[in-house]
Structure 1
Amino acid sequence: MTLTVQPHRESVGLKTGQLYLDGQWGPGSGGETWTHRHPATGEAIGEFAIATAGDVDAAVAAARKAFESGTWSNARAGVRIKLLHRYAELLREHAEELRALQALDNSVPLSFSSNIYATGVEAAADVFDHHAGWVDKLGGQTLPPYQGGDHLAMTFREPIGVVAAILPWNAPFLLYAQKIAPALAAGCTVVLKPSEYCTFTVLRMVELLVEAGLPAGTLNVVTGPGDPVGETLINHRDIDKVSFTGSRAVGKRIVEASAGTLKRVSLELGGKSPALVFADAPNVGLAAATTIGAVTMGLSGQACVANTRALVQREVYDEFIAAAQGMAAAVTYGDPFDPGVMSCPLINEKQLERVLGFIETGKKEARLVSGGERPGGDLENGNFVTPTIFADVENSSTIAQEEIFGPVLAVVPFDTEEEAVRLANDTEYGLGASVFSADAQRAFRVSRKLRAGTIGVNGFQIEPHLPFGGFKQSGLGREGGDSSIEAYTELKSVYMPLTDEMM
C-alpha cells in the first residue's frame, strides 16, 4: 500500500497557516496561499498565506512601532527574563505536538527528533533559557579619563532595532531559537519568515510565544516563498539587521541587498565539512558509523554541518568503508511517525533531481560503493534516495567540493597528518569538521589548524552556549553564546563631564 501521512495530519490537528501582524492572526492581503506537499508522500498537507509586499510593509511597520514604543526594548530585565524562561517551559510542555508538526512539515522522523538533541525541542528550550540569562548582563564599561578634565567615559549596549529573521526548513526548533532568543533577549523586535517547506511548526512555536505574553508587534510573521516574501524583506529600508540560515547563493544575495542601507547581517550558510579519520582512531567502526550516520540518518544529509567528506588514513581505509556500508544498509525510510523509521526524504522534487544529478556526476569521478538509487514500492511517491557512498574520491572533484545536501558521502584517502589538514582546508567552505584520533595532542593540534567554525573530536555536538558559524564562504558572524547576543546590539560610547570646566 502506498505510504500516506493523512491519518497523522488529522490526529495532530493541523491549522490553516496565517500571518501574524501586530498581535493579530489573519490571511494575506492578496488572498494567495501556498500548498505544502509532504516530501515522503507527495500529499497536500495544508495551506498557508503568501504575504504580499504590503503585508511585509505592515509587519516591518508593526515591529518598528513596537521598538520605538519601548514596550519590549525598554522593558526591565526581570520582565524579559521571566517571559523567556516561561516560553522555554511551554516549548518543553508541547514537545510531542511540535515534533509531530515537524514530521508533517519536513518528514524528520520522531525517532530522530526525540533522541537527537540538535533536531529536538529541548535544544530550542535550552537556547531560550541560555539567552534569558544574558538579559541582565548586557553591560558596558566605565573607563578612566584618557585626557582633559574630570569626566566619565562609558559604553552601553543597546538593541540593534528591527530584525528580519529568515529560517530554513531542516532544523526549525534550533534555528528558530538561535535567531529569536538572542534578538528578544537584546530587546529587538522581529519580522520572522519561516521556510515555505517548514511553516506549520514555526507558526505553532509563535503561538506559544504569544501565549507566554510577548507584547503585540514585538514578533511578526510573514509566510511564503523567498520570491516575493524574502526578497521584499531583505530589501526593506526599515530593517536594521538580517539574520539568515540557508544557501550560499541566497546569503550572497542578502549581502548585496544590505549595501543600500548598510544593514547588519548574520549569515549561517553551507558547508562541505570533513571528518578526518586517523589510523589511531579509538574505534574506526564507530567513526564510520558516526560519519555516515550524519549524512544519511535523520535529515538524509540535508544539514549544512554534516561531515559529507570523509578523509581516511590508508591503513584503515578499507575498514572504514566496510563499516560505513554496513551502517548505510541499516538505514530505514518511510512514515516519519513510525518508530522504526530512521531517516527522511529530500525536501522537494527540485532537490531530489539535484542530488540525483550529483550522483550521476560522482559515478564518472569515483567508485560508487553503494546506494544512489530511488526506492520503489510504498515509497515511490516520496523524494527518497538510498544512502550513497563514493570511494577513491579526488578532493578536487565535484562531489568533494560542492554541497550536495543529500545522503552522499565522499571518501578520500590520505597518508600523513599534513596531507589530511591540507585536504580538509581545500574547500571554499569552513563550517564544521570532526577529528577521530586517540592521540589527544594530535587531535588538538589538527583542530587548531582546521579552518572551520566548529570542530568535534571523536564525535560532534552543538551546544546552546557555544558560538556556531563558519569560516570562509560558510557565513558571517556566530549564533550561540555571548557572541550571538552581541550580534543583536549596538555599542554606544557616552562622554559625561563631572565639572563645568571645559576640556
Structure 2
Amino acid sequence: MTITVQPHRESVGLKTGQLYIDGQWGPAADGATWSHRHPATGEVVGEFASGGAADVDAAVAAARRAFDAGTWSRSRASVRVGVLHRCAELLRRHADELRALQALDNSVPIAFGSIYATSVGAAADVFDHHAGWVDKVGGQTLPPYQGGDHLAMTFREPIGVVSAILPWNAPFLLFAQKVAPALAAGCTIVLKPSEYCTFSVLRMVELLIEAGVPAGVLNVVTGTGAAVGEAMITHRDVDKVSFTGSRAVGKHIVEASAGTLKRVSLELGGKSPALVFPDAPDIGIAAATVVGAVTMGLSGQACVANTRALVHRDVYDQFLAAAQGMAAAVTYGDPFDPSVMSAPLINERQLERVLGYIESGKSEARLVTGGERLGGELAAGNFVAPTIFADVDNRATIAQEEIFGPVLAVVPFGDEDEAIALANDTEYGLGAGLFTADVQRAFRVSRALRAGTIGINGFQIEPHLPFGGFKQSGLGREGGQSAFEAYTELKSVFLPLTDEMM
C-alpha cells in the first residue's frame, strides 16, 4: 500500500504560507505561489507565496526603517532579553506542532525530531543562550598609549540589516543560530527559508511575533533561491549575509556581495572523516554511530555527517560487519510512524545526483550493501537504501565530493600519521570524529585535524560552542560568543579630557 501524509496535513492544520513584511502577512507582489511536494510520497502538501525582487525590496526597506528608528537596535537590554526568553518558551511549548510541520516539510521522522541536534529544544536553548549576551555586549576602555589625558574606547554596535538564508535540512536549529544572535545584537532581519522547508519556519516566525519581536525587525520572503536569494545577497541596503548551504552557492555569495563589501558568514559543506583506531572503546558502537549519522534521520543530508570512515586495518573487517548490521536496521516510510528512522532525499534532483555518485562508486570501490532506490510502498518517494563502499581510495570521487545522501566510504589505514594525512586530504574541513580509548591520542589527533568541530567517541551540537569550518567549509562561526560578535561592528572612540589636546 502506498503511504500518504494527507491525513497528517489535516490534523496539523497546515496553513497557506504568505510573506511577512513590516508586520503584515500577505501574498507575493506578483501573486506567484510554490506548490510543495512531499519527498516521501510525491503528494502536493500545500503552497506558499513565491516572492521576487520587489518583495525583497519591500522587506529590506522595512528592515532598514526599523533599524534606523532604533526601536529594537537601541532598545534596553532588558527588553531584548525578555523577548528572546519568551521566544525560547514559546518554541518549547509548541515543539510537537513544529515537529509535525517539519515532517510535512522535509519528511524528517517525528521520532528523529526529538534528538537534540535537530530538535525544537535545541533551537530554544540557542535563544536562551543568546539572551544572555544582550547585556554583556561591550567594548574596552584602554589606557593612553601616547600619554596625555584622554580616553580611548571601543564599542560593539549592531551590524544593521541582515539577510539570513536557510537550508531545508535542519530548520529549527539553523533558524535559531541565525535569528537569535542577530536579534540579540540589535540587528533587523530579512529571512528566506528553503522552498523545500517553509511551513515549519513560518510557524516559528509566528511564535516570535507572539513573543514580542516588533514589526519590521523580522521579515520573511519565501520563494526560490534564484529569485529571492539572489535579490537578498545583492541588495545595496543589506549589511550582512548569513547563509547555510552548498559550497557552490557560498562561493557565488562571496562574488555577488563583493560590490558592496557585505559582511558574510557561510556554513557550507563537508566531507567529514571518522577515524576508528583499534583501541576504540567499542568497534560496534563506533560503526553504529558513524552509519547512523549517514543513514538515520536526515538520510545523510547533513553537512557535518561523517561520510568517510577511516578504519585501522586491525579492526577493518569487524567495523564493516557491524556497519552492515546497522544499515540493515534502518527503517523508512511515513514520517509520522514512530518506528520510521530515516527520511527520503529531499527532491528528485537530489535523488538522481546521489544515484549518480553510487554508480560512480561501483567502479571505484567494493559495494558492501545498498546502492539502489527503494521500491514497493516507497516507490513514490525519493528513498535510497543505506549504501556502504569498502576498500575506497581516499582520492576517489565518493571519498572527496559531498554526496549528501546515505552513502559511506570506508577507507583503511595503517597508523596514526596515515590516518591524520587521509583525514586532512580534502578541500573541506567542517567536522571530524575519532574513536579511541587513549586520551593522549584523542588530544593529539584532535589538534592535528583541520576541521572546525571534533567529536571524540561521540558528537554533539552545543548552543554555546562555535560551529563552522576550515578551508572550503565556510567563513565564520555560528554558536556562542563568536556568533553574537559576528552580528556587530567594532567602533573606536577617542575622547580628550582637557582642552590641551584639541
User: What interval of TM-score do these two structures reach, taking the shorter chain for normalisation?
Assistant: over 0.9
In the aligned structure 1, how far is the partner of 2:28 from the partner of 2:410?
48
1:9 matched to 2:31? The reply is no
Which amino acid in 1 is paired with 2:15? K
Write the deviation string for residues 400-445 of structure 1: whole angstroms up to 9, x where unpaired.
0000000000000000000000000000000000010000000110
In the aligned structure 2, how far is the partner of 1:31 from the partner of 1:255?
31
1:397 matched to 2:379? The reply is no
Aligned residues, how many?
502
SS of corresponding position for 2:302: coil
Spell out the pairing of 1:159-178 with structure 2 (5 A cutoff). Answer: 159-178=158-177
1:484 matched to 2:483? The reply is yes
SS of corresponding position for 2:259: coil
| 1:179 corresponding residue in structure 2 | 178
Report deviation, 1:149: 2.1
Spell out the pairing of 1:280-299 with structure 2 (5 A cutoff). Answer: 280-299=279-298
Moved segments of 4+, more than 6 Å: none
SS of corresponding position for 1:456: strand
1:452 matched to 2:451? The reply is yes
1:231 matched to 2:233? The reply is no
Which amino acid in 1 is paired with 2:327? A
In the aligned structure 2, how far is the partner of 1:248 from the partner of 1:375?
29
SS of corresponding position for 1:494: strand
In the aligned structure 2, how far is the partner of 1:70 from the partner of 1:494?
21
Spell out the pairing of 1:17-96 with structure 2 (5 A cutoff). Answer: 17-96=17-96
Report deviation, 1:502: 1.9
In the aligned structure 1, how far is the partner of 2:443 from the partner of 2:110?
35
| 1:346 corresponding residue in structure 2 | 345
In the aligned structure 1, how far is the partner of 2:13 from the partner of 2:501?
69
Report deviation, 1:257: 1.0
Identity %: 82
In the aligned structure 1, how far is the partner of 2:395 from the partner of 2:6?
45
Which amino acid in 2 is paired with 1:420? A
SS of corresponding position for 1:110: coil
Write the deviation string for residues 111-151 of structure 1: whole angstroms up to 9, x where unpaired.
1012x101110000000000000000001000011114200
In the aligned structure 2, how far is the partner of 1:131 from the partner of 1:37?
35
SS of corresponding position for 2:108: coil
Which amino acid in 2 is paired with 1:139? G
In the aligned structure 2, how far is the partner of 1:464 from the partner of 1:166?
19
SS of corresponding position for 2:264: strand
Report deviation, 1:64: 0.1
1:322 matched to 2:310? The reply is no
Report deviation, 1:376: 1.1
Spell out the pairing of 1:105-184 with structure 2 (5 A cutoff). Answer: 105-114=105-114, 116-184=115-183
| 2:274 corresponding residue in structure 1 | 275
| 2:371 corresponding residue in structure 1 | 372
| 2:217 corresponding residue in structure 1 | 218
**TM-score, normalised with respect to structure 1:** 0.99
1:243 matched to 2:203? The reply is no
In the aligned structure 2, how far is the partner of 1:144 from the partner of 1:119?
46
SS of corresponding position for 2:2: coil
In the aligned structure 1, how far is the partner of 2:152 from the partner of 2:374?
67
Report deviation, 1:377: 1.1
**TM-score, normalised with respect to structure 2:** 1.00
Which amino acid in 2 is paired with 1:244? F
Query: Considering only aligned residues, what root-mean-square deviation do their CA atoms show, in Å?
Result: 0.5
Spell out the pairing of 1:460-475 with structure 2 (5 A cutoff). Answer: 460-475=459-474
In the aligned structure 1, how far is the partner of 2:214 from the partner of 2:495?
34
In the aligned structure 2, how far is the partner of 1:474 from the partner of 1:195?
20
In the aligned structure 2, how far is the partner of 1:371 from the partner of 1:435?
25
In the aligned structure 2, how far is the partner of 1:153 from the partner of 1:229?
43
In the aligned structure 1, how far is the partner of 2:400 from the partner of 2:213?
44
SS of corresponding position for 2:212: coil
| 2:100 corresponding residue in structure 1 | 100
| 2:380 corresponding residue in structure 1 | 381
| 1:313 corresponding residue in structure 2 | 312
SS of corresponding position for 1:260: helix
In the aligned structure 1, how far is the partner of 2:177 from the partner of 2:28?
27
In the aligned structure 2, how far is the partner of 1:421 from the partner of 1:159?
40
Write the deviation string for residues 239-284 of structure 1: whole angstroms up to 9, x where unpaired.
0000000000000000001110000000000000000000000000
In the aligned structure 2, how far is the partner of 1:439 from the partner of 1:148?
54
Report deviation, 1:207: 0.3
| 1:407 corresponding residue in structure 2 | 406
In the aligned structure 2, how far is the partner of 1:4 from the partner of 1:489?
46
Write the deviation string for residues 385-411 of structure 1: whole angstroms up to 9, x where unpaired.
000000000000000000000000000
Which runs of 5 or more residues in structure 2 are unaligned?
none
Write the deviation string for residues 313-336 of structure 1: whole angstroms up to 9, x where unpaired.
000000000000000000000000
Between 1:367-376 and 1:349-358, the stretch displaced more is 367-376
Which amino acid in 2 is paired with 1:107? S
In the aligned structure 1, how far is the partner of 2:106 from the partner of 2:92?
20
Write the deviation string for residues 57-100 of structure 1: whole angstroms up to 9, x where unpaired.
00000000000000000000000000000110000000000000
In the aligned structure 2, how far is the partner of 1:321 from the partner of 1:225?
41
Report deviation, 1:375: 1.5
SS of corresponding position for 2:279: coil
In the aligned structure 2, how far is the partner of 1:162 from the partner of 1:376?
47
In the aligned structure 1, how far is the partner of 2:32 from the partner of 2:468?
35
Write the deviation string for residues 135-173 of structure 1: whole angstroms up to 9, x where unpaired.
000010000111142000000000000000000000000
Which amino acid in 2 is paired with 1:48? F
Write the deviation string for residues 169-214 of structure 1: whole angstroms up to 9, x where unpaired.
0000000000000000000000000000000000000000000111
Which amino acid in 2 is paired with 1:266? S
In the aligned structure 2, how far is the partner of 1:173 from the partner of 1:203?
11
In the aligned structure 1, how far is the partner of 2:261 from the partner of 2:52?
24
Spell out the pairing of 1:419-430 with structure 2 (5 A cutoff). Answer: 419-430=418-429
Which runs of 5 or more residues in structure 1 are unaligned?
none
Which amino acid in 1 is paired with 2:111? S
In the aligned structure 2, how far is the partner of 1:139 from the partner of 1:32?
45
In the aligned structure 1, how far is the partner of 2:310 from the partner of 2:324?
16
| 2:196 corresponding residue in structure 1 | 197
| 2:255 corresponding residue in structure 1 | 256
